[in-house]
Amino acid sequence: MAEPYHLTIRFRQQGARALLDLESDSGAGTHAAMDLPFGDDLPLVLRALDAAQITDPQASLTRLSPAEHERLTTMCLHNQASPAANFHALVGRALLRALTADPQARAVLTQARAEARAEGRSLELVLRFPREASLLADIPWELLWDEPEHGSGLPLLLAQGGHSSCVRYLTLPRPLPPPAPPGQRLSILAVTPRAGISPELYRRQRAALAVALKAGVEAGVVQLVQPSAPLTAGGLLDLVRQHRPDVLSFFGHGELQDGQGHLLLDDEHGGEELVAAGRLAGLADAGLRLVLLHACRGDQPGSGLLSSTAGLLSALGLPAVIAMQTYIRVGAAARLQAVLCQGLILDGLSGWRMPERMELETLVDVRAANPAIDTNAFPDTPSDKFWTATDSYWMGSAWIVYFGDGSSVPGSKDSNLCYVRCVR
């Protein structure tokens, strides 16, 4: 796969405006300024986007006050208490208009998109924020959306094609640590509390991760440690110090409270508690190279960029933290955990990857059921759903092969919790 075409944008916040430095791979660049979209209402719009991620309408409704719903309705973003049908598109188009209001900025972006297409490369927006630009970093730049009159009418990164993406960097005065020696076995500590997690989800999530990494474990390139719950704040720190893993993968719930990031963990008395990120500062000196936070709002700035759970851990010296900026559905979080952890070991497994639909369907044995597979060749295969890498005809969905009866169905990437079987 060709390297992506990079368009780097460096942000500096200056009151209600942002100063931008844009530079592309071809050397084109400019300095520009932009007015923040939605003016003083920008924080409200960001909160409304956050609330729109919640699938329970009643829970989503309570995230905003009646006056805030009314204000959003006045702005044509809500229909009374519900988001407008094209809410995300309206916000994304407003973001793109603000970013490209300066003709020079618009020219650099247009040129970068055209050159990436001409060279058959995906486009990667590289966004760099100083630590004081919390409002700018909180904006969902991934939501940039083309105008239907002048473009595709689709989200910009989706319209660009390929694996176009948006990568954010927080600028801190600290060098990265040296890379790990080649050939060293990767150690992954995967933890899940009981707090807020149903027994069935707890079982399925752990099993899906174990299946995704099974090939790596058997090849000796990865060590997977999955301690059982409960998981308290002190217990989490003890586990990290005991196992000294390269990667800590947390699956659970997160929240932003009192301007600071929190994780929902078990407490010492069989209950649950929201644990402020500051209480997990001990993770910074445990030799971790990567932390994966599969939890809501793990990287949503509160009182500043370093007030989120991911931001604080990064500021304390952890080399890399991957987290969710807003709410994420349980199925999407579980799939992301399996795919990310699997991706960490692909090079060591000489080409292991997620199979396409047709590849996975070749394993189906139509003479068998529960599971519909040759159990001599593939022992311990659960009679359950497995992801494929083939997108289906629905936006945001992929084909799933169900090894209960061997059927294939499209499924939302956000709301389905499935296993992953590697192929090569």
Q: Over the stretch 29-82, which tens digit does the pLDDT of each residue have? A: 899 999 999 999 998 998 888 888 776 666 666 778 889 989 999 999 998 778
Q: How many domains does the chain have?
A: 3
Q: Are residues 117 and 261 in the same domain?
A: no
- Flag whether pLDDT at 177 surpasses 80: no
Distance from C-alpha of 68 to C-alpha of 139, rounded to nearest angstrom: 19
What average pLDDT does the segment 265-294 reach? 89
* Nearest C-alpha neighbor of 422 from the set 335, 343, 330, 368: 343
**What is the pTM assigned to this prediction?**
0.67
Give residue 330's pLDDT: 74
- Flag whether pLDDT at 251 surpasses 50: yes
Give residue 379's pLDDT: 82
| Cis previous bond, 371, omega within 30 | yes
Q: Are residues 116 and 228 in the same domain?
A: no
Q: Are residues 274 and 339 in the same domain?
A: yes
**Which of 309-313, 344-348, 382-386 has the weakest average pLDDT?**
344-348
Give tens-digit pLDDT for 194-244.
Answer: 999 999 989 988 888 888 888 888 888 889 999 998 999 999 999 999 999
Among 146, 170, 194, residue at a domain's last position: 170
Distance from C-alpha of 131 to C-alpha of 171, rounded to nearest angstrom: 7
Q: Are residues 257 and 362 in the same domain?
A: no
Give residue 72's pLDDT: 92
- Flag whether pLDDT at 350 surpasses 50: no
Q: Are residues 13 and 113 in the same domain?
A: yes
Exposure of 200 in the CB half-sphere (CA atoms within 13 A): 4
Range of the domain at 358: 353-412
- Flag whether pLDDT at 179 surpasses 70: no
Q: Which residues, in sequence order, are CB contacts of 77 under 8 Å at separation 6+?
A: 45, 48, 83, 84, 87, 90, 91
Q: Are residues 21 and 122 in the same domain?
A: yes
Among 170, 197, 212, residue at a domain's last position: 170
- Flag whether pLDDT at 178 surpasses 70: no
Q: Are residues 190 and 337 in the same domain?
A: yes
- Flag whether pLDDT at 349 surpasses 60: no
Distance from C-alpha of 354 to C-alpha of 312, rounded to nearest angstrom: 33
Residue 272: strand pairing partners: 266
Q: Are residues 362 and 337 in the same domain?
A: no
Q: Evaluate whether residue 50 is within a structural domain.
A: no
Q: Evaluate whether residue 100 is within a structural domain.
A: yes
The answer to whether 242 and 189 have CB atoms below 8 angstroms apart is no
Q: Are residues 18 and 166 in the same domain?
A: yes
Round the CA-based radius of gyration of the chain to a whole number and report it: 22
Q: Are residues 376 and 326 in the same domain?
A: no
Q: Are residues 286 and 251 in the same domain?
A: yes
Q: Provide the percentage of residues in the chain whose pLDDT is more than 70.
A: 91
**How does the average pLDDT of the chain come out, rounded?**
85
What average pLDDT does the segment 380-405 reach? 86
